[in-house]
Amino acid sequence: MLRLTLAAALLFAGARVVKAQSFLKTVADVPLPGGATRFDYQSLDPSTGRLYLSHMGDGNVVVFDTRTNKVLANVVGFPTVTGVLVVPALKSVYASVTHNHEIAVLDTEKLVVTKRIKDGKFPDGLAYSPETHKMFISDEAGGVETVIDTQRNERVNTIEMGGEVGNTQYDPASHLIYACVQTRNELVEINPETDKIQARYQLPGGSTPRTLYR
């Protein structure tokens, strides 16, 4: 059984030098359901305090309440799940189910899958553009970015990235989508209005960029 360790950031005003370990304090150590197998992505709904975790090794999505520090549900049916992203406005969690080459849409109120959308070879990270109501999913092995219309929950486009795709993120300041292309050592900028790549940024000094956070 794996455990979820929660930490709180502490701010020390006026301190010139603060040791790294002083910033984090363990507030809970909670057992998680299932086997001691790999977890991957997680996504927080700040409106409810629910944290959705992909239990990749077990093929489940764990729903954890960060306000009570309790597991609310262990939803099965997501073999080799990687990316998870909750969209509170849609009352849905989108999960990359790599074994089935699909995206599963989970209703956050009923905790049941309402749609399964066929994807490419290895769906992974997800990013949501609220202005266009589109979900962008990195297909790592397929070398593409999949685009889903979340109003219909249908696949509407595929963007050729030119190499293995790492994580994908939405930037609320520019309203653009960014993704890492691992095998080209690039950060790619996508316009979600047109589903077109509008810039490629080389990452000198780096190697196989994968993780991206905004």
Question: How is residue 152 annotated by DSSP?
Answer: T
The rounded percent of the chain whose pLDDT value lies above 70 is 89
The single residue listed with the structure tokens 């993120």 is: 169
Q: In whole angstroms, how large is the CA radius of gyration of the chain? A: 18
Q: Could you give the CA distance from residue 64 to residue 206 in angstroms, rounded to a whole number?
A: 35
In the predicted model, is pLDDT for residue 9 greater than 60? no
In the predicted model, is pLDDT for residue 13 greater than 50? no
Q: What is the pLDDT of residues 63-87, one digit of tens each?
A: 999 999 999 999 999 999 999 999 9
> In one letter, which amino acid is 73?
A
Q: Which residues pair with 115 in a beta bridge?
A: 105
The mean pLDDT value for 14-39 works out to 78
Q: Could you give the CA distance from residue 111 to residue 122 in angstroms, rounded to a whole number?
A: 24
In the predicted model, is pLDDT for residue 17 greater than 70? no
Cα dihedral value 154, 159, 163, 168, nearest 10:
-60
Q: Are 45 and 88 in contact (CB under 8 A)?
A: yes
Q: DSSP of 117-140, one letter per residue?
A: EE--S-EEEEEEETTTTEEEEEET
Q: How confident is the model at residue 60 (pLDDT cuts 50, 70, 90)?
A: very high
Give the CATH architecture of domain 36-202.
7 Propeller (2.130)
Q: Are 104 and 114 in contact (CB under 8 A)?
A: no
Strand 165-171's sheet: what is its strand order? 165-171, 176-181, 186-191, 196-202
Q: How confident is the model at residue 207 (pLDDT cuts 50, 70, 90)?
A: confident
Domains of the chain by residue range: 36-202
Q: H or E element: which one contains 45?
A: strand 42-45
Q: What is the pLDDT of residues 131-172, one digit of tens each?
A: 999 999 999 899 999 999 999 999 999 999 999 999 999 999
Token pair of 180 as six digits: 């890492």
In the predicted model, is pLDDT for residue 23 greater than 80? no
